[in-house]
Amino acid sequence: MRPFALDHAASTAEALQFLDDGATAIAGGTNLVDLMKLQIATPERLVSLRRSGLGDIAQDGEGLRIGALVTNADCAADMQVRENWPLLAKAILAGASPQLRNRATTGGNLCQRTRCGYFYDTSQACNKRDPGSGCAAREGFNRIHAVLGTSDACIATYPGDMAVAMLALEAVVLTQGPSGEREIPIAQFHLPPGDDPARDNVLEAGELITAVRLPAPTGGVQIYRKVRDRASYAFALVSVAVDLTMNEGRIARCALAFGSLGTVPWRDPAVEQVLIGEAPSSALFAKAAEVLLKDAQGFGANDFKIPLAARALAATLNDATRTGKA
């Protein structure tokens, strides 16, 4: 690891000042420090956000405001979250390990980088790490890679769980930066790779996530299904988040988001439109999967994700519509 300076911001304003002076933000450090050890990230100056006063969960109108420094463990344990937005607690608890969740934060989780093995191997071509060098994954070992939203430049997934639940819950990311405050719907926060895979999200230089706002709870059935190689401590191969309400035997409202399937947390309103107003059936779930996966493209080792996503969607919808419980 290269030498670096570390400052502690005592307030959000101070953190913004350090960022303006060229520092890189560090929160839990569970992703950034690994990247620094491998010299994939080489910041000369870090500013720790841990004392910057962004660690509260509070009511925000009819919704909830989760500070950027709230740890994943505290967020998942919060009674308001567990009662009104259980999808979020379930998704967080499906991720990482207790030790990591005790350190990892809301803001850091949103900004975590891909787990593509070639991104972490500096001897390999990777447009995300080294723009213009190529993409070793396209012809390489791409079992964990995306089948939706890919580009010629990059096929990596955004790997996290929390953001997938937040997408189904229609969260808003609150930021402060040199251009002032912004409220960014989470559906617009992560960027598909396009021609510029080095950029994972819409944050500008010097911009800080201050909080995430969840809108008022829907009261729907909320389920997070994560399919992975091990039952714990593994990233998703495919995940499905659903928030669904039934009325008189029909699906009255449905929000669906998918993780590790696309290059960004994935939501497709056309899939929800297939389901809304209909009585649940295997044929209906198959039709929804067909719409979801109509543009899916595998790269060899990850071809299995296409039928896997169809099965995971059907199983999740089956649970949500039949039991009415997670």
Which residue number, 125 or 315, has a Cβ lying nearer to ligand SF4? 125
By CB neighbour count within 10 A (0-12 exposed, 13-18 middle, 19+ buried), where does 80 fall? middle
Q: Measured between alpha carbons, how far is 1 from 119 in angstroms, rounded to an integer?
A: 17
Residue 118 makes contact with ligand SF4 by CB under 6 A:
yes
Which residue number, 130 or 319, has a Cβ lying nearer to ligand SF4? 130
Sign for the pseudo-dihedral over CA of 265, 183, 51, 62: negative
Out of 109, 114, 175, 321, the residue judged to bind ligand SF4 by CB under 6 A: 114
Sign for the pseudo-dihedral over CA of 231, 305, 268, 181: positive
Residue 40 makes contact with ligand SF4 by CB under 6 A:
no
Residue 137 makes contact with ligand SF4 by CB under 6 A:
yes
Token pair 């992560």 in the structure block, residue: 190
Binding mask 109-148 for ligand FAD (x = CB under 6 A): x-xx------------------------------------
Q: Which of residues 63-92 bind ligand FAD (CB under 6 A)?
A: 68
Q: Which range in 57-65, 118-126, 159-167, 232-240 contacts ligand SF4 by CB under 6 A?
A: 118-126
DSSP-assigned letters across all residues of 103-149: H-BHHHHHTPPP--HHHH-TTS-BTTTSTTS-BTTTTS--TT--SBS
Out of 100, 125, 202, 326, the residue judged to bind ligand FAD by CB under 6 A: 100
Q: Which residues pair with 241 in a beta bridge?
A: 224, 257
Q: Measured between alpha carbons, how far is 267 from 258 in angstroms, rounded to an integer?
A: 6
Residue 104 makes contact with ligand FAD by CB under 6 A:
yes
Residue 27 makes contact with ligand FAD by CB under 6 A:
yes
Sign for the pseudo-dihedral over CA of 106, 130, 238, 231: negative
Q: Which range in 99-107, 183-191, 246-254, 268-276 contacts ligand FAD by CB under 6 A?
A: 99-107
Q: Measured between alpha carbons, how far is 52 from 148 in angstroms, rounded to an integer?
A: 37
Q: Measured between alpha carbons, how far is 241 from 313 in angstroms, rounded to an integer?
A: 9
Residue 197 makes contact with ligand SF4 by CB under 6 A:
yes
Q: How many CB atoms lie within 10 A of CB 218?
A: 18
Which residue number, 262 or 280, has a Cβ lying nearer to ligand FAD? 262
Report the residue number whose CB is nearest to ligand FAD: 108
Residue 29 makes contact with ligand FAD by CB under 6 A:
yes
Q: Widest CA span of the chain, in angstroms?
A: 63
Instruction: List the structure tokens of 306.
Output: 């296409």
DSSP-assigned letters across all residues of 63-91: EEEEETT-BHHHHHH-HHHHHH-HHHHHH
Token pair 């009511």 in the structure block, residue: 59
Binding residues for ligand SF4, rule CB under 6 A, total 14
Shortest Cβ 199–ligand SF4 spacing (Å): 12
Shortest Cβ 25–ligand SF4 spacing (Å): 22
Which residue number, 75 or 135, has a Cβ lying nearer to ligand SF4? 135
Please name the helix (run of DSSP H) or strand (run of DSSP E) that holds residue 195, with its range, or none: none
Q: Which does 108 bind (CB under 5 to 8 A by kind): ligand SF4, ligand FAD, none?
A: ligand FAD
Residue 157 makes contact with ligand FAD by CB under 6 A:
no
Out of 24, 80, 102, 245, the residue judged to bind ligand FAD by CB under 6 A: 24
Binding site for ligand FAD (CB under 6 A): 24-32, 49, 68, 95-96, 100, 103-105, 107-109, 111-112, 160-162, 203, 208-209, 235
Contacts with ligand SF4 by CB under 6 A lie at 114, 116, 118-119, 126-128, 135-137, 154-156, 197
